[in-house]
Amino acid sequence: MEYGMSEQKPLPLTLLTGFLGSGKTTLINALLQNNQGEEIAIIENEFGSVGVDGALLQGNGTIELIELSNGCVCCSIKGELTQALRGLIEKVDAGQIRLDRLILETTGLADPAPIVQTFFLDEVLSERIVLDAVITLVDALHVLKQLDEHRVVAAQIGFADRIILSKTDCIDDAQKELVLARLHAINSKANIVEAHQGVLPKTLWIDINAFELSDNLKVNQGFYQARDAKNIQFKSFSKDQPTQSWNDDIQSYLFEAGDLDLHKIGAFMDDLVENYGNDMLRYKGVLAICDEEKRLIVQGVHKVVGFDYGSVWEDERKSLLVIIARKLPYQELLEAFKRCV
């Protein structure tokens, strides 16, 4: 069957990551069973992890397509990611398949960094695919041990726009407080959502629009519990949250100030990205600029950074920058940031 071409608009892609056994398969299966008519491509490194039933559409050594009973497509990438995604876009353009969104599931040992940068640095992909969000699954039962033994786990958490906590029914409240405290220390920007039996309503992890240059920036103060789509509760972190230091390789760094001089903050960001960009996983800032009524938005991944002006300030003007990075000289940089006033 050939599908007629509609007005081409970028396909939203959700990057789903998480260490081995964290629950990615369960989450994807729940989405496919309740996709409400959307044509979704699940892109994997290898078949078998989703455990779907379907008929083989096409296989060419680089990417194989399996059509599922609900009209979605499961893709198994055997070659280089960029080449495989371009091939998938060509099939859409040729009318061979129709897609509404993409979900890229990484292997449990994958560092998200090179995958995220692909969508910014490749001209074809940046025009045809829009990165919606990085969603990281975390196994609450084993994550503390995994963080101690596997460096990539902190990278997966650090890159997240949203953290989905699974297997919380396997730990007690004291253990959960430890897990929440450590996740928050690594990534204070990402919302944490506790899944119920590994399942989460689609609205809590799809269409996040995390890579838009929006002026929404808040340091997370709690977590969400989701029993179902109509029963979602926000719970603040405990006032007695553990304060121990785990000395994780990746941490969240918060920079706050008042109105900033545009030239000074520009020079600060240039030096910051040039000297520490390779160690900065994700960063976002909403900055108040002297004699400027609008917020200045900055967002970046490693050395790929974007700036734009957002909405007009209507509340208290305050500059806020959150950086998730590997061991920055925080006090030195904080003093330099404050000198930008």
What CATH number is associated with residue 264?
A: 3.30.1220.10
**263's torsion region: left (phi>0), alpha (psi -120 to 50) or beta?**
alpha
> Going residue by residue through the chain (341 aa), what tens digit of pLDDT does each one get?
444 444 578 899 999 999 988 988 788 878 877 777 788 888 876 544 444 434 333 434 444 444 445 555 555 555 577 877 888 888 888 888 888 888 888 888 888 888 888 888 888 888 899 999 999 999 999 999 999 999 999 999 999 999 999 999 899 989 999 999 999 999 999 999 998 877 788 888 999 998 887 766 666 666 666 665 566 666 666 666 555 566 788 999 999 999 999 999 999 999 999 999 999 999 999 999 999 999 999 999 999 898 999 899 988 899 999 999 998 999 999 999 999 99
291-327 b/e (C-beta count within 10 Å ≥ 16 → b): ebeebbbbbbbbeebeeeeeeebeeebebbbbbbbbe
The answer to whether 19 and 146 have CB atoms below 8 angstroms apart is: yes
Task: Check whether residue 140 and residue 189 sit in a common domain.
Answer: yes
Last residue of a domain, one of 236, 270, 304: 236
Tokens of 76: 């198994």
What's the pTM? Answer: 0.82
* Residue 241 located in a structural domain: no
**Residues 67 and 161 occupy one common structural domain:** yes
Domains: count for the chain: 2
- Tokens coding 158: 């650090």
Flag whether 4 is in a domain. Answer: no
User: Looking at the domain assignment, is residue 5 inside a domain?
Assistant: no
Q: Looking at the structure, do residues 263 and 229 belong to the same domain, yes or no?
A: no
Order across the sheet with 40-44: list the strands.
54-59, 63-68, 73-77, 40-44, 101-105, 11-18, 129-139, 162-166, 191-195, 222-228, 231-236
Q: Where in the sequence is the domain holding 38, given as residue range(s)?
A: 11-236
